[in-house]
Amino acid sequence: MTAPEFHLYLPQMRLTMDAMVDKARAAEAAGFTGMAGMDHLAPPLAEQHDMYEALTTNAWLLAHTDHLVQGQLVLCDAFRHPAVLAREAVTLDHASGGRFELGIGWGSVVEEFTTYGVRPIPARERVGRMKETLEIVRALWTGEPLDYDGEWFQLVAARQMPTPLEKIPIVIGGTGPKTMALVAEHADWWNVPVHQLDRLDEMHGRAGNARVSIQRMYTFAPESSDRAAIEEVAQKRFGYSSRVVGGSGEMLDHFHAMQEQGVERFYVWFTDFAPTETLEAFGAEVISSF
């Protein structure tokens, strides 16, 4: 069994750009393969806080790291025209030497659509629009002229150069029937929602060749730390959310169990907001064990 990938999940809110660079560099040094943020027009349930745009943040962090892959969980399809998205992705791919991944979804925060006047709103229309986006983006990445006549988009002899350096990985999350069809057709990675993990065995066969990832919240207590204090702070911040709590031994047991279920990538969202000392300890006590 090959070693899993660990990616730091760090929403780009309530942090300065310098602070995010520090965390990205610390994650890279600790052995994390990648880093992912979120994509919203305002932080859900926290609109009063600062937040930076996803792809611009990716570009900044790619410019300040050497090996770390940058992605998102996930870009909202409805926020961008597919031709713009295709061009942005290839630009980041070339600028970083192939360290950009395209995470995409059809949008889960309906209030965001109504507040900012984004269309479409019904779920069936959002997933239909994303289907067209994926078809257009992948076609434009070939560098060949494209004629496309869809419900949402019409392109005539559209062509974009350059093409990706090699292949830009696509990450799609969700478990609905239409989403799973898109995963099987387009995705390199299928990100399984935590609340659907009990269906992983049942759903895996519908993911095509996509590899499996999960994003989860982790309350990590390094060796020689005050575990009770760490758990108390996490409880105050996040309550009884679906968290994995424990030291290195418990974390390793968890990751090995998830590996046995077929999970190959973990997006780790630390409840202490990933200070350098946590990243260093996680790298030394957990990642290095693989």
Summarised one tens digit per residue, pLDDT across range 115-150 is 999 999 999 999 999 999 999 999 999 999 999 999
- Reported as a single tens digit per residue, the pLDDT across 64-74 is 999 999 999 99
Positive or negative CA dihedral for 77, 79, 81, 83? negative
Contact status, residue 137 vs residue 89, Cβ threshold 8 Å: yes
| Confidence (pLDDT) at 71 | 97
Q: Is the peptide bond before 162 cis (omega within 30 degrees of 0)?
A: yes
pLDDT of 181: 97
**CA pair distance 124, 96, nearest whole angstrom:** 35
pLDDT value at residue 1: 78
pLDDT value for 108: 84
pTM: 0.96
pLDDT at 241: 74
Low-confidence ranges of the chain (pLDDT < 70): none
Residue-range domain boundaries for the chain: 5-289
Return the pLDDT at 117.
95
Please identify, in words, the CATH class of the domain defined by 5-289.
alpha beta
CB neighbour list of residue 130: distance below 8 Å, 6 or more residues apart: 77, 104, 105, 106, 182
232/136 Cα distance (integer angstroms)? 48
